[in-house]
Structure 1
Amino acid sequence: MESEGDEASHQHPKRNKPTSSAPFSSTSVQDSSSEFPVLPADLISEILFKLPVKSHLKFKSVSKSWLGLISSPKFVKSHINISSDNNSLLYDHVTKAIDFDFPPNKSNKSSIKAVGSANGLIYVVLGHSDLFLWNPSIRKFKKLPSPRIVFLYMYGFGYDELNADYKVVCLTQKVYDDDSRYNVDKIYSLNNNSWKRLDEFRIGKLSNQTGMFVNGKLRWENTTKHFGCYSDWDVIFIDLADGRWGEMEKPFYSEGKLRFEPCLGVLENDLSMLCHHLGSHADVWVMKEYGVKESWTKMFIIKYPYDNMGYSVFGPPFCMSSEGEILFRNDSVFMIYNPNDDSIRFPKVSNFGPLVEATLYIESLVWLFVANGTTNATTSKDTKFTDEDIRVINK
C-alpha cells in the first residue's frame, strides 16, 4: 500500500531515552563543533501526520520505531482525520486524472462500479460477482468471499466505528403476488472475513443502488406509492453496528411538482437531498442534526444549466471546497456550483473519458487486516482491466 528510505548519514554518539508520549525516541545530532537541539517525539509525530502517504511509505524504512509509529492504529486514524479536512479538490479549473492499476486482469468485458469509500478504502464491484476492497494509496486490494446471492441488486459500504470494522451490505428484493417487497440482505465484516444473513425487512422499491453512508448507517430512498409519474417515498437505513433496519424522516417541501424522486447524498459528513423541480431548478437540503426532522435545511436553490439540448439535470452533491464551491456530477462530466455568485462551471479533466461512476476518495494508510491480525491483502502492480481503466481524482 513502498520505496526504500535512506538511513541518516550521521552517527549518534548519544541518544535520549524514549519518551512516554510516543513509541520512538527523540533524536539529537552532534558533531565536533556544535550540538543540534533535540527534536521532540511529539513534534515528529505532528510533522508526519501532515505528510502524504507516499512519504509515509518511504519513512517506514528509516527505523523500527518509525515503522511502528506509522503502522500504529492511532497514527493511521490521525492521518485520516487530517486527510478528510483537506478540501483542495476544486482549486484548479483544469485537473489531471490519475491512473491506478486495479487487479485482477480480466479478459472478458465486465462493468466496473465504484460503490463507495470510507477512510481511503474503495468498494469496487466487477460485474455482479467479484467484490473488492481497495486502497489505491498503498496499492493493496482484497477480494471478498462470495455473498452467495444470485443477483446483487443494491450495495453499500461503510465503517462501523463501534466495532472498528469495515462492512459491506449486499441486498436484493423478493416481490410477491401482492407486489409487496422484502429485502434479502447479507452483511460482510472485514474483521471476521465472512458474510452474515440479516432479517427480512418490508420495503417498497429502492431508487438508488448505492447506500449513502452517514453516522454509521447506510441509507436508501424507498418508493412506497406511485401516482402517475410521481411517487411517495421515505428513507430507510441499516445500522452497520447491529444490522437493524429503520426509517427516518424526510424534509417537508411544498413547491410544486418534482421532476424526479429526490436523490440522497452526503455533503460535509451530513445527509443531503437533491430535489428536482420541473423545468426550473433544484433544491439542496441538508440534515444539520442527524435524526432530527426539523434540522432539514434548504441550503441552495440552483437553476438548471442550459445547453443546446435544453436544461441539464445533475446528481446529488459530492463535496464542498474550503471556498464554499460544491461539486456535482452532471451526466458524464463534473459540475461546480458557486453559491456566492450563483455561477456554474464545468472543470476540464485531462486524461479522462466519459464519467460512468464516481465516488469520493481520500489518501489513507488503512490496511486490510483480518481478525487474527494478519493481512491477506494483495499488492497491485502490473495488472489492469483490459476493458477500461479506473481513474481517480483525489479529494
Structure 2
Amino acid sequence: MDPPCSPPFFVGSVNGLICLFNRRGDTYIWNPIIRKSKKLLKSSWGTSRYTKYGFGYDDKCNDYKALFIDHCGNSCNDELSNLRVVVNIYSSRTDSWTTLHDQLQGIFVLNRLASDTWGSLELPICGEEVFNIKLGVVDSELSVLYTCKAGTTSDVWILKNRRVNVSWMKRFTIEYPQYAILYGFDSPIFTFSIYLNLSDNDDILLLIPGKIMIFDGSTKKFKHATIVKECNTAEIYGESMVNPLTL
C-alpha cells in the first residue's frame, strides 16, 4: 500500500475507492488496486478541532461525495453546542466544493452520504435508562447500537421505511462475554459498522475503532476479537477497477 499522501487520514471507502486527507488539508480519492489517485481542489475545511467527515456514493446522480463539517468558535473553550457549523461538500460530478453555513448543529457524521438534505430524527426507545447509544451502519442501513448498562448485550436497531414513514426495527441482540468491558467503545463520537452475510446464520462482523469482533450469526454470541492499534473507525473495503481520474 502506497497512499498518495503522508500521513494519511481515512475519510471513507465506497466502490473500491478510498478518500484520504493529510494535515495540510489536501484531499485525495484513491484506488489502491490500480494505484491511481485524484487530488481534489483545495477547500477551506479543517479549520477546527471538531472536524467530522464522510465519503460516499450517490447512485441516483452517479456522484461521489466527500463531506467535511467544521465546528468553529472564538476560543478553544467553546462548547460544541455553541459553535458555528460550516459544511463543505465535494461533488465528483461537478469537481467542485459547496460551502454551507450553520445548517447543522450538534451533528456527528457517518461515513455514508445520500441526498443533500437533512432533518431531525427521533432515536428508538431502547430501555428505561439510556446508557450507551451509537449511530452506525448495518450493511447500507442507518442503525443504532444500544448497549445496556451492564455492557453484556447490545441491541441493533435498523431504520426502516425512511422515505415514507420513518420507523425503527430491532434487528437482533448481540451477546458479549463476561469480560465485555475489554471491548467497550472508546468514545461516543465514533461510529460502528456491521457486515452481514446473505444468511442470518452466518457470522456477524462488527467493526469499531481499534477493534474487530466476530459473532455467531445464529446465537449472536461472541466468537473472536482482534485488537488493532492506532485505528480509526474500521470499514469494509471491496476491490474494484474504478479509476478516480475519470469520475
1:270 maps to amino acid:
E
Corresponding residue to 2:60 among 151, 162, 171:
162
In structure 1, give the amino acid aligned to 2:11: V
Aligned to 2:231: 356
Shift of 1:153: 0.3
Within a 5 Å distance, the mapping from 1:164-243 to structure 2 comes to: 164-175=62-73, 180-204=82-106, 206=107, 208=108, 210-213=109-112, 217=114, 239=115, 243=116
Equivalent position of 1:131 in the other structure = 27
User: Mapping of 1:241-390 within 5 angstroms?
Assistant: 243-253=116-126, 255-260=127-132, 262-279=133-150, 280-291=152-163, 295-307=167-179, 310=181, 312-314=183-185, 316-324=192-200, 325-329=203-207, 332-346=210-224, 354=229, 356-357=231-232, 358-369=234-245
**Counterparts of 1:342 and 1:190 in 2: how far apart (Å)?**
40
Tell me, in whole angstroms, the C-alpha distance in 2 between the residues paired with 1:266 and 1:342: 18
Runs of at least 5 residues in structure 1 that lack an aligned partner in the other structure: 1-99, 218-238, 372-395
**1:90-131 CA-partner distances (Å, limit 9, x unpaired):** xxxxxxxxxx22234x4xxx4x33221121111112236122
Q: How many residues align?
A: 232
How far the C-alpha of 1:272 sits from its partner, in A, is 1.2
More helix by share: 1
By how many angstroms is 1:270 displaced?
1.4
Letter paired with 1:282: S
Q: How many Å separate the matches in 1 of 2:53 and 2:130? A: 26
Could you say which residue in structure 1 is the equivalent of 2:188? Answer: none
Give CA deviations for 1:370-390 in whole Å, capped at 9, x if unaligned.
58xxxxxxxxxxxxxxxxxxx
Q: How many angstroms apart in 2 are the aligned matches of 1:329 and 1:248?
A: 24
CA distance in 2, matches of 1:259, 1:146: 41
Specify every segment of 5 or more residues in structure 2 that has no aligned partner in the other structure, as ranges: 186-190
Matches within 5 A, 1:27-176: 100-104=1-5, 106=6, 110=7, 112-127=8-23, 129-149=25-45, 150-151=47-48, 153-175=51-73
Q: State the TM-score, normalizing by the size of structure 1.
A: 0.52
Partner AA of 1:326 in structure 2: I
Deviation at 1:134, TM superposition (A): 1.0
SS class of match (2:244): coil
Determine the C-alpha separation between the residues in 2 that align with 1:354 and 1:327: 18
**Percentage identity across paired residues of the two chains:** 30
User: For the residues of structure 1 that align with 2:131 and 2:120, how far apart are their CA atoms?
Assistant: 24
Which one has the largest radius of gyration? 1
Is this contact kept in 2: 1:249–1:293, CA < 8 A?
A: no
**Structure 1 residues 295 and 113: CA distance shift in structure 2, 3 A:** same
Contact kept in structure 2, 1:120 and 1:364, CA below 8 Å? yes
Amino acid at match of 2:37: F
Distance 1:346 1:158 in 2: 29
Distance in 2 (CA, whole Å) between partners of 1:342 and 1:299 is: 11
Distance 1:199 1:269, change over 3 A: same
Q: Deviations over 1:294-351 (max 9, x none)?
A: 64111122233333x84532563331123432111355331011241232122569xx
The answer on whether the counterparts of 1:304 and 1:311 sit within 8 Å (CA) in structure 2 is no
Bigger RCO (CA 8 Å, 6+ sep): 1
Q: Is the 8 A contact 1:284 1:301 kept in 2?
A: yes
Letter in 2 for 1:198: L
Give the direction of change, closer, same or farther, for the CA distance of 1:199–1:370 in structure 2 (3 Å limit): farther
